[in-house]
Structure 1
């Protein structure tokens, strides 16, 4: 079965443009429209049978696109959604969006081909325009952990910038002035927001931002280990580090144990995954209420399916969780 990505490549236009042609949008030039229609005909692309029928047959299923299927963070999301949907008579169809736009679009196309009744998307690479166009199709849509101004009534999101601010303020309150930061992939809006929160907290405390104390990583334990080792090799002094998720913080704690430094470095995480309270020392972190957000996303999706007025919490706030990994400076 041909995908929207294949149509866009053959026509030499973006996937958003293909979607606009399919939706009958007037925002597409005549030339591009002809190229898209020709490509659709050549590839025998059939969008109308999937998403545009006004008399779609209900399948009792909801499609979920999620970056990956492994790990405690994403596992909690899938569990929360599935256990909320199942008692209401819906089954969850899950697919991974991977780490690029083609994989995410392919995942969406797959779910549409399965004729799911609604879509719940946790995506990073599809553009705002792509998601806006998808929302105009005849299928209820909810977007998790992302805010799109044109789709505020379809987005359940966390204030990531406030989370970065809360985490860094905690370290500053403990007396730390030289604070490093391991960010997530800065292609992701949430990672950029957490970094901005870190920078804002430094500015509030009249601490000069030092780019040499900041390093980008990949939200995994291994990437956290590698990022922390790079920081050590830069020979920049720091007494605390804000890791923008718990897995990277756990990797950092492992390196510190190996080095057995005389002056322990305070380590701050983000997400409050289950493991964070069981590592040694237990990890100070920022609670990301992803389970509550996932349940709220399901409620919003059901309200859309039943054509009810949305009545959910669209924006969540992070909270500080203090444990043993952060200590006052100087360490006593």
Structure 2
């Protein structure tokens, strides 16, 4: 027996769109309606009471998709969005995608069923085409930390390339020529853009290294520790390290401490994100500020404007990184 997911797959739409067609919602587009009705007829699908109940008359919720709710970065994003939501008498409904396309897709479809007007999405695994399709279904759809030209007015993004470039150049200007980079092993834009920024800064300052200076690990403290141990095992000259995020930097500090390598006296260190942990490790961490709280608030406010069909942003909004100088970097002097 065919299910609502079978119909969605056959029609090339989401289950939320199928639900709208079943319930004769005015938000179901003509093309989607024809595709769904054709799929239902082909598969012999008959809607049941549960399918009809997926769309209700009103909703006071805002859907928020993050990669991992346990990650402090996303906790900060959720808290900021919740502040704006409460000011507008709304409540958050949260889903996690874990950098997995199927998980992100399922979570978004579930959120759409309950949050038909407002949806803030942090998606790294889904294709641009799928996200554009979802944006057409949800009036207040906003994409955070990603830029898609076709829906530029719905994007709140961050310049990851520039952030890594600034961090690397800061180390270079402090005399460092042997700079390693510990990147995330997730196949996402953030990782590739930050790596590109690191490499471009080296290139612009006529510095180049073999691949041994770049390692990839899980983007947490354990990954940072393992990445630093991997670099140390190669016996290559390193005077500074840049990490994908602050948690990886915390792991690097642990690995260096266990090997009696002082920071910043022997190796300087720069993180990324300016998370809470950066202020409490020792030494306090020089890092790149990622204004996720401001971005999340703006994304939530934009969602309300879009849903009300108020004036939209004329251009996409890409936030710029800034360097936060603390105690984990010192000037390197070449031995003569």
With normalisation by structure 2, the TM-score equals 0.85
| Superposition deviation, residue 288 in structure 1 | 0.2
**C-alpha contact (below 8 Å) 1:4/1:15 kept by paired residues:** no
Once the two structures are superposed, residues 59-91 of structure 1 have per-residue CA deviations (whole angstroms, 9 ceiling, x without a partner) of 111100111111321110010000111021111
Residues 7 and 39 in structure 1, CA contact (< 8 A), matched pair in contact too: no
Q: In 2, distance between residues paired with 1:48 and 1:137?
A: 18
Unaligned residue ranges in structure 1 (runs of 5+): none
> 1:84 corresponds to which residue?
84
Q: Residues 201 and 47 from structure 1, CA distance in 2 versus in 1: closer, same or farther, beyond 3 angstroms? A: farther
Equivalent residue runs for 1:231-310 within 5 Å: 231-261=231-261, 264-310=266-312
The answer to whether the 8 A contact 2:176-2:240 is kept is: yes
- Report the counterpart of residue 45 of structure 2 in structure 1: 41
Task: Note the 1:175-194 alignment, pairs <5 A.
Answer: 175-194=175-194
Structure 2: stretches of 5+ with no match in the other structure? 22-27
Query: Take 1:228 and 1:2, find their aligned partners in 2: how far apart are those partners?
Result: 49
How much does 1:261 deviate?
2.1
Distance change >3 Å, CA 242–CA 114, structure 1 → 2: same
Whether the 8 Å CA contact 1:65–1:120 is kept in 2: the answer is yes
Structure 1 residues 229 and 35: CA distance shift in structure 2, 3 A: farther
Change (3 A) 1:176 1:46: farther
Runs of at least 4 residues off by over 4 Å: 1-7, 13-16, 18-26, 32-37, 42-51
State TM-score, norm by structure 1. Answer: 0.86
Q: Is the 8 A contact 2:116 2:138 kept in 1?
A: no
Q: How does 1:115-194 map to 2 (within 5 A)?
A: 115-194=115-194
Distance 1:141 1:327, change over 3 A: same
Find the counterpart in structure 1 of residue 333 from structure 2. 330
Structure 1 match to 2:322? 319
Residues 192-244 of structure 1 deviation map (CA, whole Å, 9 limit, x = unaligned): 11111001100010001421110112221111111111111222221101101
1-structure distance, mates of 2:254, 2:145: 29
Where does residue 25 of structure 2 map in the other structure?
A: none
CA distance in 1, matches of 2:44, 2:296: 36
Cα 1:85–1:331, aligned 2, differ >3 Å: closer, same or farther? Answer: farther
Deviations 1:16-64 (A, max 9, x none): 8x979985659x9x9x99678645838979989757xxxx733111100
Q: How many residues align?
A: 322
